[in-house]
Every structure is written in structure tokens, then in C-alpha cells.
Chains A and B, each alone.
Chain A
């Protein structure tokens, strides 16, 4: 039982590049979400999903896309990376009871 896993742990992108942050859970939870944390800030909700095929926007969704084709996976896509998206990204499940270890993204 791995809980919530995130890949990669670290990533450096150039402005304008695209990438997908992966999040997977093996606890069969319907609810999954993505947060970002910036220095000196709390976590802010980007997108969330209450089940396969259902997603909704959080507080800071601009520049990010999500989809939920399976219960296990909830990838976060950056379509055209910007320096403002430099942050640490956390995936969570079950009403934010379980968080993944995070992906540290730097956009230059």
C-alpha cells in the first residue's frame, strides 16, 4: 500500500514548455485534489475531482488542466509553463486526509 505517490520529485522547465505532474493512489478513494504551495504561503487548491470523469476548479486553476479517467490517477498538466508556476505541488485524496510527498517545479 503506497498511499499517494507523485512523480517526478523535482522538475525544471523553460518558459513555454509543457509537462504533466503525475499523482496516483492505491486506496480506491473517489476524491483527489491538487494544491500548490509557494514560499511563506499556505496551500492553495488548483483543481479537484470527486470521481472518475468529474473535475472542478479550485482557487487558482489558470494555466493548469486536469482529467480523471480512472479512480487511481489524477494528472495535472501545465500547458505552457510560466515562472509564476514555480512552486511545490501536492496531490491529496480522501478529503485531504492523505497528501503525497510533493513535486518541486522550477520554471526558468
Chain B
């Protein structure tokens, strides 16, 4: 039974606009949430994280929002750039490691 769901397999956004990637989880015990970016034939690259004591965390163009009551998190990328085109994974944990990953969303940013 999948504990982390990324319901959009793909997303296409124009350069300069906002990209919003969504993730839902099932277990309220999860307290640490991460986003990764992955290019083909490479390992995942850590982007940004948030703990359950916060509802927002920003790092440059990337912002993660956490809605604990809805068990939902989202990643906003503003402004989107062609180099952001990749697969994005959300991951959750209740220990800080040993993550549960979603299946990923493929983002395409078009010029």
C-alpha cells in the first residue's frame, strides 16, 4: 500500500511561470518531508526539506508548503526555467532517514 502519492505523472509549464508539484501521504506519524530532483542516468539531488513543526520553507526559487491536516505537501518553483525540467520526487520519513518515496512527477519547462 503506497504511503506517498504523487498523482500527476507529468506537468508542463512555460518558462517564467510557476510550477506546482503536489504530494499526498497517508501516515500522520511522518514528520520530515523532502523533495528531490532527478535527471536521467543520475542519482537524485536533494532540493529542499521541511519538518512537521513548520508549514513553509523557502530556498531561492523553491518553496515547500506543508498542510499537516490534509497530509499534503507541495513544491513551488518560481520562476520556472528550462533547466528545471526533470523528474521530481517527494519523500517522507518519521526518523529523518529511511525515506518513503513517491513515484515522481516529470516536469517539462518549455521556452
Binding site for B on A (CB under 8 A): 4, 31, 33, 35, 40-45, 48, 58-59, 90, 92, 95-102
What's the minimum C-beta distance from B89 to chain A, rounded to whole angstroms? 6
Q: Which residues of B contact A96 (CB under 8 A)?
A: 34, 46, 91, 97, 99
What's the minimum C-beta distance from A96 to chain B, rounded to whole angstroms? 5
Q: A33-B98, A42-B89, A48-B98 are in contact. Are A99 and B103 (CB under 8 A)?
A: no
Interface positions, chain B 48-69, Cβ under 8 Å from A, are none
Task: Tell me if B45 is interfacial: C-beta within 8 Å of chain A.
Answer: yes
Complex contact A42–B98 (CB within 8 A): no
Q: How many residues of B contact A (CB 8 A)?
A: 20
Q: Which residues of A contact B100 (CB under 8 A)?
A: 42, 45, 59
Q: A95-B96, A96-B91 are in contact. Are A43 and B42 (CB under 8 A)?
A: no
Query: Which one of B42, B43, B104 contacts A42 once the chains associate, using CB atoms below 8 Å?
Result: B104
What's the minimum C-beta distance from A66 to chain B, rounded to whole angstroms? 14
Q: How far is the CA of A92 from the CA of B43 in the complex (A)?
A: 9
What's the minimum C-beta distance from A100 to chain B, rounded to whole angstroms? 5
